[in-house]
């Protein structure tokens, strides 16, 4: 029954996020907000609504490991799995200026979270700082969108051009938002309760469940948005949604969860391994911060390989498997090679003046 509730809860989160994004984006367009701003804020934040619902629900229930594991695991999943899969679909050449500014911001907020967590706890004050950062980041996005190129604006306009018009249409979109929120709340309750029951049944920690199964489940809206955008050739949307969602996860989801739960305890394993991995995968996005650079198909495959390796390590560590020492020795080089490879790629491309074209 726990598995059934987990699957149904995940489904409700996905449907709720879709309804919320659809209704909110059309309402935003109806009041004159540009498609670019809608895509950068409403859509990117809306796809993170499942993470917000699950982490806040977990924090309120006193399940700090699940709340934190969901955020950290989702950010790792978003970059390694979603960007990796999207890059395999089509090489991700991203001229969008905002994305190139967002990646250093993503690295910075992840590093800030690690600093806050050094004492083993994310306090209410520190959570409030993160939440204030979410507000500042949103203002930054709105202002920066005014300087975007016409080509990027047209890409977002093609995807998010629909606007609510007329009283009946506006009421219908409000109904979608309300229904989406209701499904998110119900889905979060079922998923969290089921995840806790499953963790106890199989003898693993709630942290492991949060880092893996829950993180993947709550990231399904990002999968749909980014992979479909990649299929359509909308590369800016494919990357921008992932990067924007990751920043929102750290600043808003973690911030609100910490405030709702009166602070969040940070497990030593998260501080020593999972947060450094999250920082490493954020650094792995650095190539797209340089004009004319891309995430090629082979780099996408590398991202997916690293996600499989990361998940395998988490599962082996949770079960104290006999293969853990050997695998752990290999994983000890996880963060460093990923960062070094990224830096070398960036340096090489800068040196040879690589063209953005090709696969």
Going by the DSSP 8-state scheme, the letter that residue 296 receives in this structure is -
Q: What share of the chain is helix, strand, coil (3-state, %, to 5)?
A: 80, 0, 15
The model's pTM is 0.83
Model confidence at 252: pLDDT above 90: yes
Angstrom CA distances, 349 to 250, 292, 293, 345, stand at: 30, 9, 8, 6
Q: What are phi and psi of 31, to 5 degrees?
A: -95, 10
pLDDT single digits (tens) 6-53? 888 888 888 888 888 788 888 887 777 787 888 878 888 888 888 888
Beta strand ranges found along the chain (DSSP E):
92-93, 121-122, 264-265, 294-295
Residue 339 pLDDT:
59
- What letters, b where the CB count within 10 A reaches 16 and e where it falls short, cover 192-219? bbbbbbbbeeeebbbbbbbbbbbbbbbb
Model confidence at 352: pLDDT above 60: no
Residue 346 pLDDT:
59
Beta-bridge partner residues of 92: 295
pLDDT single digits (tens) 44-84? 888 888 888 889 988 988 888 888 999 999 999 999 999 88
Domain ranges for the chain, please list them.
2-352
Rounded to whole angstroms, the Cα distance separating 94 from 169 reads: 35
The pair of three-digit structure tokens given for residue 213, joined into one six-digit string: 């199964």
pLDDT single digits (tens) 159-203? 777 777 777 778 888 888 888 888 888 887 888 788 878 777 777
Residue 131 pLDDT:
95
In sequence order, which ranges of 90-212 are alpha helices (DSSP H)?
97-116, 124-144, 150-159, 167-202, 206-209
- Domain at 2-352: CATH code: 1.20.1420.30
Q: pLDDT-based confidence at 359, cuts 50/70/90?
A: very low
Residue 38 near residue 156 (C-beta atoms within 8 A): yes
- Per the model's pLDDT, the better-predicted residue between 91 and 82 turns out to be 82
Where does residue 282 rank: exposed (0-12), middle (13-18), buried (19+ CB within 10 A)? buried
């Amino acid at each position: 029954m726990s598995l059934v509730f987990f699957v149904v809860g995940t489904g409700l989160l996905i449907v709720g996020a879709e309804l919320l994004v659809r209704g909110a984006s059309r309402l935003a367009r109806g009041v004159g907000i540009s498609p670019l701003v809608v895509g950068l804020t409403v859509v990117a934040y809306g796809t993170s609504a499942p993470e917000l619902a699950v982490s806040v629900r977990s924090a309120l229930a006193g399940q700090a490991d699940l709340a934190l594991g969901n955020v950290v695991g989702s950010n790792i999943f978003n970059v390694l799995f979603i960007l990796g899969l999207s890059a395999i679909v089509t090489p991700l050449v991203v001229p969008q200026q905002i994305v190139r500014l967002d990646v250093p911001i993503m690295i910075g907020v992840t590093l800030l979270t690690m600093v806050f967590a050094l004492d083993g706890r994310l306090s209410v004050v520190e959570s409030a700082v993160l939440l204030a950062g979410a507000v500042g980041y949103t203002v930054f996005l709105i202002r920066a969108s005014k300087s975007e190129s016409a080509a990027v604006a047209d890409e977002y306009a093609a995807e998010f051009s629909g606007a609510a018009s007329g009283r009946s249409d506006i009421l219908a979109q409000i109904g979608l938002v309300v229904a989406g929120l209701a499904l998110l709340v119900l889905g979060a309750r079922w998923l969290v309760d089921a995840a806790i029951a499953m963790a106890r049944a199989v003898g693993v920690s709630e942290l492991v469940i949060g880092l893996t199964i829950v993180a993947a489940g709550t990231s399904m809206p990002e999968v749909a948005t980014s992979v479909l955008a990649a299929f359509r050739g909308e590369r800016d949307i494919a990357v921008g949604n992932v990067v924007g969602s990751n920043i929102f996860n750290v600043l808003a989801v973690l911030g609100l969860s910490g405030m709702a739960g009166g602070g969040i305890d940070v497990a030593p394993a998260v501080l020593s391994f999972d947060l450094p991995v999250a920082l490493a995968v954020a650094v792995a996005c650095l190539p797209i911060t340089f004009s004319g650079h891309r995430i090629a198909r082979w780099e996408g495959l590398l991202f997916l390989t690293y996600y499989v390796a990361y998940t395998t390590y988490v599962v082996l560590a949770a079960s104290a498997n006999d293969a853990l020492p050997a695998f752990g020795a290999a994983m000890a080089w996880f963060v460093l090679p990923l960062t070094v490879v990224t830096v070398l790629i960036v340096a090489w491309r800068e040196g040879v003046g690589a063209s953005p074209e090709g696969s």
